[in-house]
Structure 1
Amino acid sequence: MKLTTLTVLASAVAPALAATYPITGDSVNCRSGPSTNYAVKKTYDKGHGVTITCQTSGTTVNGNSIWDKTSDGCYVSDYYVKTGVDGYVTGKCGSTSTCVAPKSNQATVDLIAEFEGFVDHVYTDATGHPTVGYGHLCSDSKCSGVKYPIPLSKANGKALLADDMKKFEKCITSMLKSKAVINLNQYGALVSWSFNMGCGAAQDSTLVKRLNNGENVNTVLSEELPKWVHGNGAVLPGLVRRRNAEIALAKKATSDKALPVKC
């Protein structure tokens, strides 16, 4: 789309004013990070004007992978914001792009794959979310954002899992501070947990706060992970087993370091 003459004139007459852009969808969620896996912080009505402070890449929504950080401090998919152009209209957000996230080890990949299981078609998981492959949570009931053909082959399912894990590796890396000294098995337990429960939930958790305070990692994981076993208000045996497996992985000795990383 091209900018209208009115918009161009307005920006020329009043360059000091921050531009606002209208929301094009009904009840559009603004999240704590640039992905549909992050917690919802605000909801915008259609036509509401938002000010974009920076933009970054994230979960693709209907072919658009740009996410806009608004002046409210949350992220909304650019697909739902009428900026007048198809690309970036402001600078890229740098808060989560300066640190390279460590790659999970094979034990972590195996743990996630085991508990997620593989389903080649779209189904509804125990907490009511449309899901496909190895636990890929979709943004709509048809999983239209998945770039691989559905039903998935196992090869494409694992490729999708690898794509999803990168988001949570980056998520864990960005939220933990220098006092959190984490080895690769402990890191894997955290990646599996956030993959399962969502990055937004992890970010706001007591678990992360305790790690950032410098508490013993295995003590924190042993005490906090068992709290994350509920779905729709009930204790789910599958989550109990998963949390126990994550704790066991974290306690497995390794000399491979993960965090902190130099940024």
Structure 2
Amino acid sequence: MPRDIHPDALALVRHFEGLYLKAYLCPAGVPTIGYGHTAGVRMGQTINGLQAEVFLRADMAEAARDVDRLVKVPLTDRQRGALASFVFNLGAGALQTSTLLRLLNQGDYAGAAGQFGRWVFATVNGEKVQLPGLVKRRAAEKALFETA
């Protein structure tokens, strides 16, 4: 039976993504709606809060499947949720090639938790910059990961 996404992880993503009922272009130029949903979104599209929640749960379930595929050690529901938020935001490829995953799969949970803070940069106008929103999000993901 598939595991549900921990409510704290859903709340974290809701908080950091924000709710947009009308499609907009994210900083990367991708049409986005709801809580950061991008699949099949077209500009001019509108949804309601229920549809945003449906999209969020489906997107987070997909991210959690990626986590389940990549992580080879046992995870609590909160750890899994924190990693699903990370994948939702950065993509499975980021986790797959990360030191975070390598340390985690070696059983070094504390070392893995310490890696969240490295993922706070974005390329803006061709320059790598630290984004305050990502600093806060990674800190929240780390805190969730470290909560038993």
Would the TM-score normalized by the shorter structure come out above 0.5?
yes
Structure 1 position 190 matched with structure 2 position 83:
yes
Greater helix fraction, Structure 1 or Structure 2: 2
1:132/1:138 contact within 8 Å kept: no
TM-score normalised to structure 2 length: 0.88
Residue in 1 that maps onto 2:46 = 151
Percent of aligned positions with the same letter in both sequences? 33
Tell me if the contact between 2:103 and 2:112 (Cα under 8 Å) persists in the aligned partners: yes
Residues 210 and 220 in structure 1, CA contact (< 8 A), matched pair in contact too: yes
> How many pairs were matched up?
143
- Structure with the greater alpha carbon radius of gyration: 1
Report whether the alignment pairs 1:112 with 2:2. Answer: no
Judge conservation of contact 1:176–1:212 (CA < 8 Å) in 2: yes
Equivalent residue number for residue 228 of structure 1:
119
Query: Corresponding residue for 1:160?
Result: 55
Alignment equivalent of 2:107, drawn from 196, 199, 214: 214
Question: Could you tell me whether the CA contact under 8 Å between 2:24 and 2:31 is conserved in 1?
Answer: yes
Amino acid in the other structure paired with 1:213: Q
Corresponding residue of 1:245? 140
Match of 1:199 among 71, 79, 92: 92
Determine which of 13, 33, 58 is the counterpart of 1:132: 33
Contact 1:101–1:170 under 8 Å retained in 2? no
Instruction: Using structure 1 for the length normalisation, give the TM-score.
Output: 0.51
CA distance in 1, matches of 2:110, 2:49: 34
- Alignment partners' CA distance in 2, 1:169 and 1:229: 21
SS in 1 for 2:115: helix
Cα distance in 2, alignment partners of residues 197 and 155 from structure 1: 24
The answer for unaligned runs of 5 or more in structure 2 is none
Amino acid across the alignment from 2:38: L
In the aligned structure 1, how far is the partner of 2:31 from the partner of 2:121?
A: 18
Residues 120 and 135 in structure 2, CA contact (< 8 A), matched pair in contact too? yes
| Distance in 2 separating the partners of 1:109 and 1:124 | 22
Report if the CA contact (8 A) 2:82-2:141 is conserved.
yes
Output the CA distance in 2 between the equivalents of 1:234 and 1:138: 27
Take 1:106 and 1:138, find their aligned partners in 2: how far apart are those partners? 23
Q: What does the per-residue CA deviation read over 1:80-121, in whole Å, with 9 as the maximum and x for residues that have no partner?
A: xxxxxxxxxxxxxxxxxxxx6522111111111111100112
Distance in 2 of aligned mates of 1:126 and 1:251: 30
d(CA) in 2 for partners of 1:224, 1:163: 26
Equivalent AA in structure 1 for residue 115 of structure 2: E
SS in 2 for 1:103: coil
SS in 1 for 2:27: coil
CA distance in 2: counterparts of 1:166 and 1:128, whole angstroms: 24
Q: Which amino acid aligns with 1:183?
A: T
Q: Which has the higher contact order (CA 8 A, sep 6+)?
A: 2
Deviation at 1:138, TM superposition (A): 3.7
Runs of at least 4 residues off by over 6 Å: none
User: Is the aligned partner of 1:170 residue 2:62?
Assistant: no
Structure 1: gaps (5+ residues):
1-99, 254-263
Q: What letter matches 2:93 in structure 1? A: G
C-alpha RMSD of the superposition: 1.8
